[in-house]
Chain A
Amino acid sequence: MEQETAEELYLSFAGIFQRPRPDIARHLEELIDLWAQEIPSSEKVIGELRDFCRAFPAGEARENALWGEYIPLFETGHVEAPPYASVYLDGEGLVLGREAEEVRNFYLSSGYGLGSEQGELPDHLGVELEFLALLAGTGSWDAAQSFRQKHLLPFLRVILPKIRATERPVYSQAAELLTSWQLGQC
């Protein structure tokens, strides 16, 4: 896969799996086009995503619909799939465990740190994907491969089935596409 395509795909998933943002919500159709083009997937999944876009045209209603799925899925209270790797990989079900520390150290060793604006933990799914986009964008393939093997893939193997199981619009389809791309299965 081309460097630019990999970067775009990582970015697109980073955008989806971070907190809903107006710009991402507005450009959802473009992300779907990218996925349809680059990831072999069933028409059903892409169709469901396009149905969501039709049901919720870009604007406040779409943003609220995404929030309505994102919050119970990832964020507050009845968190169906906590988006932090430590929760799964450290065995205690808590955030900021050893995995988060290792991931943060990996970022540091690659020359990256966490921005203060977004206020996110290092092992958030969206942040890990964003990091891989940065590595892909700069052609740091060895680092990308190492991070992917050590951190991203073990995380994806546990979290993606959970997200898919919720059948929450957009997120479950995005999880299915990411599964197909990263884990080579649908």
Chain B
Amino acid sequence: MQRRQFLKGALYGTGGTLVALSGLGAATTALNPRRVAAAVPVSRKTVYSSCEMCRNQCPIAVKVENGKVVKIDGNPNDSAFGGVICARGNSGPSLLYDPERIKKPMIRTGERGSGKFKEVSWDEAYTYIAQKLKAVQEQYGGEAVAQTSHIGPYDAFFQTIGKAIGSPNLFSHEATCPMARIIGLNTTFGTAAINADYANTKYLLVVGRNFFEGIHVAQTRAVAKALSQGTKMVVLDPRFSVLAAKGEWLPIKGTTDLAFMMALANVLIDEKLYDEEFIKQYTVGFDKWAAQVKDKTPAWAAKETGISQDTIIRVARELAQAKPHSLIEYGWRTTFTADDFQLRRAIMIVNMMLGNFEVPGGYYQVKDAGSLKKVPAMAAYAKKLGPIKAPSFPKPKKGRIDGTGEKGTPRQLTPIADGAVGQITETILTGKPYPIKAWLVHRFNPVMSIGDTEKTLAAIKRLDLLVTCDLYMSDTAYYSDVVLPECTYLERTEQVFDMSGLTPKYVLRQQAVDPVYPDTKPAWQIYKELGEKMGYGQYFPYKDIDDYVERQLAPTGISRKVFAKKGLWTPAGMKPFYVRSSDAKASLTLLATKSKKIEIFSDAVQEATGDGVPVYVQYPQPGEGEFRLIEGKVAVHTNVGTHNVPVLHELMPENTLWINAKSAAKLGLKTGDAIVISAGKYEHKGTANVTEGIRPDTVFCYHGFGQISPQLTRAFGKGINDNKLIPDQLGLVGNSITSMTFVKVRKA
């Protein structure tokens, strides 16, 4: 009798999962009306939102049937995307309904890396984190807390925690991705908000980017459109990428792209093919650039790059012939070299020599609400989002661990919002310049993304606290002390974000369905609740995300209903415009540099590095028996985040090592052979893929495979983890360098 009472007490009533609807059974709790509604079949609906299977946040139309997501399409109301999404975007339901997602907050119970956790309530998790952070703050100061995230809407909430603590050490993942381009643009145009008009370009030179596998739907479609209209494309890449297959492939020697750019400039000047008027009216410092490239002849560059002198000359002439509707793509990837930002600057300088700024088929400055205000005829279309007013944060007591912002050093150029994320592990291990003792990670996976996996794991062991918020038990979550489950993008609403291009555009991510696992939460709520637990409620002055959105929209006069109906807002009646399309001499009032000119010579870069215009640095090439290891993206995965999503895993479960046929023959290798890749300190097993489509001195693998969390059942240990082989090597501005690792390959 006693036993039965215990069981009933434990499982019925408030303890039970099932509750009575109509007085049947022993349950006492009334049914949650939301759940009743969800339980009763309802009609079909479309929810306009924004994808998050990668960082690009494409506008989407989510088809919901009876409370379940059945399909995701592109939002047909956005002409740039044309109702299209990529394979990853299509895989949303597979992620949403995956039984392997994290479902509850967890606290580690075993050794770090033992994979032993217990589930706890959110309140317990917050209390635990708050206490640990307080202890670190008291003993080492707020600066001993580092925060890293990928980069996204969640940062507005996540980074508030670190700022409130008084830590300067907030990092995005950009240093492991396109930060060099951002710096190249910032230092040349005073802003990184510069887009390319791929669809209308007549000649496209691409430097190592692969639009057809590193997919950005709007840009990929635009490039495809240009190609279908007869645009010529030339691709510089040591590997025959999918993109290279659609154009002319120039298998350039790794790390020599800057030589190619300088030689192009040399030819354009030598043959007087550049747009002199443009350079005179809009730029400063051209003479210094001209002096720098004077001896960078095609013959010289041919030796450096491995691309023939004739080809370099021909490409320069073809670019000039199609100008100003020709374009050299500025890149979106991890960095080749220590001074990669100078390559990005050089690319943009040669572009400016083509006069392709603010014209169709060239580059243009993003016409967001802020910049439109400077164009009188367009100012009426500018509707700036309202600020979320909160008290100012305490000023950090110390500078950043990575020297970001330090005048007179290259790191003065590093964007403060990004920092050099690769510095964190070094600092944890050495305690220099001061200790980092707690690390908060949101939707980022340092174990697989900061070079040298083993070093990151060693650093993690030294921490007093590691907290990871993610969807899956990622490699970093697996080693964490606390794991927090975020709900997926299909289960949350977020703040309005800016997606402006040639016209202003705002997009809203809108919740399509209730959380599948009801104890998962959106980032805004997690960090607001954590902040309140820590006594920082004043920095989260909104009630919830709807209140936040209302405050953003209030001064714009844009109704929330617009987003419910269309998923996005663009100003009615405004036509896309290029400042110089009808008047080649129109003034560039939008430019944000100090000189109000395009800075070919940059005072800031001069002050930071001593090289105000790009200067060529020769980097080592692989020796006999060595290969340069390069990596890239595949169309069905995003960085290191999707390899465990069921349907995407099925599409591509594993990577291989591309090796040139001649090199493979020397090593006695054929496709499918088991191999060992050795980077000296570390080795990794893999499988050979023998191909003509790569330079003989280079090997390639797709990034993000070979994951080390055994709790990523599908992706665990499948393929090559390139990150284990690549050292944690930082460039001048803190950029992670991923193309300067030399490896040897042998049969396993």
Interfacial residues, chain A to chain B (CB-CB below 8 A): 4, 7-8, 11-12, 14-15, 18-21, 23-24, 27, 30, 33-34, 63-64, 67-68, 71-72, 75-79, 82, 84, 87, 92-97, 101, 104-105, 107-108, 110-121, 124, 126-127, 130-131, 133-134, 137-138
Contacts and interface: CB of A to CB of B under 8 A. Distances in A.
B66 interface: yes
Interface in B18-67: 18-27, 29, 31-32, 34-36, 39-40, 66
Contacts of A14: 11
Contact of B18 (A78, A87, A101, A127): A127
B713 A78 contact: yes
A66 to B, nearest CB: 9
B712 interface: yes
B99 A112 contact: no
Given A68-B110, A121-B516, A134-B26, A114 B39 contact: yes
Interface string B95-108: 00111111110100
Contact of A93 (B19, B20, B101, B646): B646
Contacts of A120: 17, 518
B71 to A, nearest CB: 14
B29 A117 contact: yes
B39 A104 contact: yes
A71 B117 contact: yes
Given A68-B118, A116-B32, A121-B516, 5 more contacts: A8-B3, A8-B7, A68-B116, A94-B98, A115-B31
Given A8-B7, A11-B7, A78-B713, A115 B16 contact: yes
Contact of A24 (B10, B27, B104): B10
Contacts of A114: 17-19, 31-32, 35, 39
Looking at chain B's contact residues, is the secondary structure mostly helix, strand, loop, or mixed? loop
Nearest to B19: A115
A113 B31 contact: yes
A77 B21 contact: no
B314 interface: no
Contacts of A110: 24
Contacts of A94: 93-94, 97-99, 646
B653 interface: no
9 contacts: A11-B8, A33-B3, A72-B711, A78-B716, A87-B99, A110-B24, A112-B20, A114-B39, A120-B17
Interface residues of B, number: 66
Given A11-B8, A112-B18, A138 B99 contact: no
Contact of A138 (B15, B25, B118): B25
A18 B34 CA distance: 23
A134 B26 CA distance: 7
Kindly list the 8 A-B residue pairs having the minimum CB-CB distance in the complex, ordered from nearest. Answer: A77-B711, A119-B518, A77-B473, A116-B32, A67-B118, A94-B97, A82-B99, A111-B24
A101 B94 CA distance: 17
Nearest to B516: A96
A101 B97 CA distance: 13
B517 A119 contact: yes
Contact of A115 (B6, B18, B26, B103): B18
A77 B479 CA distance: 13
Contacts of A138: 24-25
Contacts of B684: none
B473 A113 contact: no
Contacts of B115: 72, 77-78
B603 interface: no
A114 B19 CA distance: 6
A67 B117 contact: yes
Contacts of B32: 113-116
B712 A77 contact: yes
Contacts of B35: 113-114, 116
Contact of B4 (A8, A33, A101): A8
B713 A67 contact: no
B119 A67 contact: yes
Contact of B6 (A18, A30, A112): A30
Nearest to A97: B97
Nearest to B712: A77
B710 interface: yes
A8 B8 CA distance: 8
Given A77-B710, A119-B518, A138-B25, A93 B6 contact: no
